Structure 1
Amino acid sequence: MYERLKIFESPRTLIALSLALIFVITVSHFATDTIEIAFHNVYRRLYYLPILIGSFAYGLRGGSLIALLVSLAYIPHAFFSAHHDPAPTIDKVLEILLYVVVGALTGWLVDRERAVKHKLEDSLIERQSMEAQLIRAGKLSALGEMLAGVAHEIRNPLASIKGSAEALATEFKEEHPKYRMSQVLLIEIERLTRLVAKFLLFARNTETQRTEINLNEIVEQTVEFGEMIDNSIFTVRTSETPVLVRADHDQIKQVLLNLVLNAIRATKDVKFPMVEIMCGKKTFHSETRAFISVRDNGGGIRPDFADRIFDPFVTTEETGTGLGLSISHMIMDNHGGYMEVESTDVDTVFWVIFEAPNEA
């Protein structure tokens, strides 16, 4: 039953209903004898029904259009037909004027109500986004303090282990079996050193050195590096005019480079890999922002990962640390911006969204 009623939510259905009512009411006018004054008065009032329906369908446009059609349908019967409405002329003229006023006023009120509703919906979405960012910031702050302590405790003994391993490696010649074992040891120690460095970077709230930068140039510089890995998969669409924001050049480049490397890894098993990078200005949640987007056709992100993709240690890679996107998200938080992700079964797009752009 409910599904059947939902058809009347369609604006086109409401307009069709309005036109049908105009036809029925007009035919009733002509079919009713002129001595039946009460019936003609009722029919004249019934014209307001399609006007109201038209207003609910398309607002001011719908209300005004249906009011005009009602007037055109009623005027011949009111003034020119031999089988005319018996009401006084002044009543009929005022009724036609009221059709137009009611249609325009009701349509305007509907448009205003919808505008307020959309504004409230946007505010609610923005509030939910801010709440999610505050919750994530609290988690990251607590986790950062823990990681800082762990990293400092590991770094000093790790440096001693690295020095000892390097000293041991010099005791063996290259052809000695233990030489290869010492190299594996050094490689693993270096990997642990990089991991500790990432922990410290995540824990440290690095101050941003903001200057006016052109996002087009950041994109071009990062793509040059990406093309060294694979120069056949990139599509770049930058703005024709400079996209200027106040940001830390190196940190923003780090964010974009991380997304590009992730995209390259995501498309490594795709037959026809594609990485599209865009830069420009766009409206996000009713506000114009500068943005960079990175899209790849690597098959999308699993739904269970999508909602927590920016949380620490969340990764789809066997050898990944799960800190790259968390650090990128933290950098954008420090810049007053944010990051969003959209994913389907085919592709994934990451949005890097900045504060309102500076005018070039």
Structure 2
Amino acid sequence: MTVQLDDVSVHFGRTCALEGLSLTVAAGETVALLGPSGSGKSTALKAVAGFVRPSIGRIRLAGQDVTDLPPAKRGIGVVVQQYALFPHLRVADNVAFGLRAARKPKAEVTRRVAEMLAMVGMTSYAKRFPRELSGGQQQRVAIARALAIQPKVLLLDEPLAALDAQLRADMLGELQKLRREVPDVAIIYVTHDQSEALALADRIAVMRDARLVDIAPAAQLYATPPSAFTASFLGGANLLPVESVGEDVKVAGHVLPGVRSTPGKELLCIRPHAIRLGSDGVPVRVIATQWRGASNQLTCTVEGLPDVSVRIDLPADRQVPALGAQVSMVLPAEACSLVPAERR
């Protein structure tokens, strides 16, 4: 089922929570809405679910206008951050809730509950109450309940945010497996975590200040971000001012071999892990170091650009330069892209 938002805006009094969002999600596609708090991503999901009504615009499912339909009549599965399981119902009854509300035959309810619990690996927990489950187990039950009604659209609103780091990593793998097992379901995944978006999404929609900033296939958006905000938010890229001299690009007066100037793009985007220390590069001075286990992150000022700092991820087996040391920063052309400077 295709999900379509046509110029959807949501206002709460004078507050604009979502402005002019147009987005289409195809059947079998996962689109991540990525952005900081207050960017409008959860409001967009709630509008699709029917929990909030657009002030302007229309929402369509498989071509049918559902803007005025209540949530229960949209046939959508929803998983929220806190899972919202019924504390007084056992696991099996939680999963069966939507089916019973739809007055499905008892035999079908039993069969679907068994199928869903098996899919998420929770068969042996069917008689437990939510309070007897871990956070990760509760999330699996919430997903099973959402899928039990066989929705054509699945909405996931920050489903991993309440989990610790190890559980989050485990459940990310479970969600990747889930995508393979329900290949015809359109999924909208709301998150502020770029690693989740990159791991799960076919396309990523980057949001900011209630508006859509950029949207593209995940790999493309990461490799060649079209804006400075997306470059910095998705992957924490360094943004360095450049000077164009003919077809050449210079950073702090140094020509970057293999990088060609582009009209209107005044910033060089490169991620911390792609920068190397070597010779014949851009001189930088180390002002801080931070050990990160598998790497050390250097913070450096760029010689000739006193107001510009750059982050460099150095593998843990490499010697860390002393604070105050001047080193040479090599910017490989294949890891560089150019983006426009922000004008707000």
TM-score normalized by the length of structure 1:
0.25
Which is strand-richer, 1 or 2?
Answer: 2
TM-score normalized by the length of structure 2:
0.26
Q: Which has the larger radius of gyration?
A: 1
